[in-house]
Structure 1
Amino acid sequence: MTHLRQALPAIALMTLLTGCSGPSTSEPVDITPADSQQADASGNKVQAFMLRGSVVLGHESYSIQPCGSTKQYWLTIPPTERQALADITRPGYEPMYGEFIGYLEPAPADGFAADYDARFQVKQINLISAEMTQGCAQTPHQTRAFGHEPGWVVEISGNQASLLRPDNQRQQQIISKKRIQSGLQHYQGDAFQLDLTKQQCNDTMSDSLFGWHAELSWEGNSYRGCATLGSVDITRHWVGRYQGTSYIGGNPALTTTVTLNPDHSATTRYDYPSGDPSTHETGFWQQASDNTVQVVMTKHQGRRLISQRLFTLDGDRLTTREETVSGQTYSLGNDGLSLKKQ
């Protein structure tokens, strides 16, 4: 683990850059191929995504409440990360700000995690801080590296790298070479080189833990510090309400509405033209590939029932031909299920 024990905390430098930089764009987070696709508990392939929110760590609570959400997900932390988290965790279940890369699974049927909306399997910590209590109020940041003695912050935005140092004007260089692989990210220009290595990096002055170690060479000067990947969730383009009506003998029989929310929670509502009461399901969603999305319902009318549909994007429609309920796969008929984005 890299320790930065300097007078000016990294959080202060990051705040300085946030105040001087323009608005963040929804550029892809550079999650390397080996890290991006994972198998969930059912063996289905899903893509890891960035989740940011308010984190509570303690004996009976390892949870995150996504920014702007009332949902709470149980955090499953890799054993290799737990001691580092314990070192910065304050007593009394005090909330911290966190950013994690991982994927969702249904909450277990019993235990501490059973009462949560889902379980988030953490593959990597991007950032967790006991001081950034207002982290959710800030715009998601770009990929950036930072350090001290002297203080510096470099930010990656598109094909440009920007360096900011106290009492110096911002300097910019074009990125001419870029290499992303498992555990390593490399950016290079005419007069700079930035290497990010997947490794716990701890700034003990600010009670913060970062997921990457950084080495920067800029116009002949060398710097070392910590880094974080961009915190934008690039799968949010799936967010929306999708609806479709099934027919029997030419007559409407069932209207299905699936809502995918920004916090990765999801709902399914079934309305019956016959006048029967509507039914509701709740669960979560996550991207499986560039054109498929996994929608998992964990409760039907408030009672635990695990079902899954893998939808394919076809224009402005989500389509699927089967559904898996409690481990058994069922056909949805010749026409399947087609839902149009509203």
Structure 2
Amino acid sequence: MTCLRPLLLAAALGLAGCTMTASPVPTTAATPIQEAPMAKRAPGDATPPMAVFRAFGTEPFWNVNVEGDTLTFTTPDDQAGIAMQGTRRTRGDTLELSGTHGGKPFVLEVSPGECSDGMSDNVYALSARFRFGDMSYAGCGEAAK
């Protein structure tokens, strides 16, 4: 037993010089897995079907934000907007979201094509048309940034 004392003492001294650091993120089964946000796309990638994008226009000013199958239509007079649930389909290179809200049909069509908003020197990669009830709007679109 006297031979073990120097070994135990050496082991204790050796461990005394070590420091242990805790892992910054616990690695338990309860840790939720974070999914990447669906809003991001590669720069210049405007190919349908896009999960998140916006369509907009001037004369009159209008905006439709799209996330998945939900459209939010806003105007300067209604900045809170109207949220509408649509059905998504592609026809060739055109993305279409359509449905009915408050008894009025709506259709948003977005397709690749150079587009100018008519008020700035900005050129967008998408052209857009939006019909809601008896109103029709034309404008541009862009993938979410």
TM-score, normalization by structure 1: 0.27
Structure 1 residue 181 displacement after superposition? 5.0
> Secondary structure of the equivalent of 1:150?
coil
Correspondence 1:138-153 to 2 at 5 A = 142-153=52-63
Correspondence 1:219-230 to 2 at 5 A = 219-230=133-144
Moved over 3 A (4+): none
Q: Is the aligned partner of 1:167 residue 2:94?
A: no
The one of the two structures with greater contact order (alpha-carbon pairs below 8 A, sep at least 6) is 2
Distance 1:144 1:195 in 2: 11
Structure 1 residue 28 displacement after superposition? 6.0
Structure 1 residue 166 displacement after superposition? 0.6
Q: Which residue of 2 aligns with 1:158?
A: 68
The structure with the largest strand share of the pair is 1
- Kindly provide the amino acid, as one letter, of the partner of residue 37 in structure 2: S
Q: Is the aligned partner of 1:26 residue 2:37?
A: yes
Q: Which residue of 2 aligns with 1:109?
A: none
Q: Which has the larger radius of gyration?
A: 2
The C-alpha deviation readout for 1:73-112, integer Å capped at 9, x for no partner, is: xxxxxxxxxxxxxxxxxxxxxxxxxxx12xxxxxxxxxxx
Q: Which residue of 2 aligns with 1:187?
A: 97
> Secondary structure of the equivalent of 1:226?
strand
Q: Is the aligned partner of 1:50 residue 2:61?
A: no
Structure 1 residue 202 displacement after superposition? 1.3
- Structure 1 unaligned runs (5+)? 1-24, 30-48, 52-99, 102-123, 126-141, 232-342
Which one of 105, 112, 115 corresponds to residue 201 of structure 1? 115
Structure 1 residue 158 displacement after superposition? 2.5
Structure 1 residue 26 displacement after superposition? 1.9
Distance 1:181 1:50 in 2: 23
In the comparison of the two structures, how many residue pairs are matched?
A: 102
Structure 1 residue 180 displacement after superposition? 2.9
RMSD: 2.6
The C-alpha deviation readout for 1:28-75, integer Å capped at 9, x for no partner, is: 67xxxxxxxxxxxxxxxxxxx612xxxxxxxxxxxxxxxxxxxxxxxx
Structure 1 residue 219 displacement after superposition? 2.5
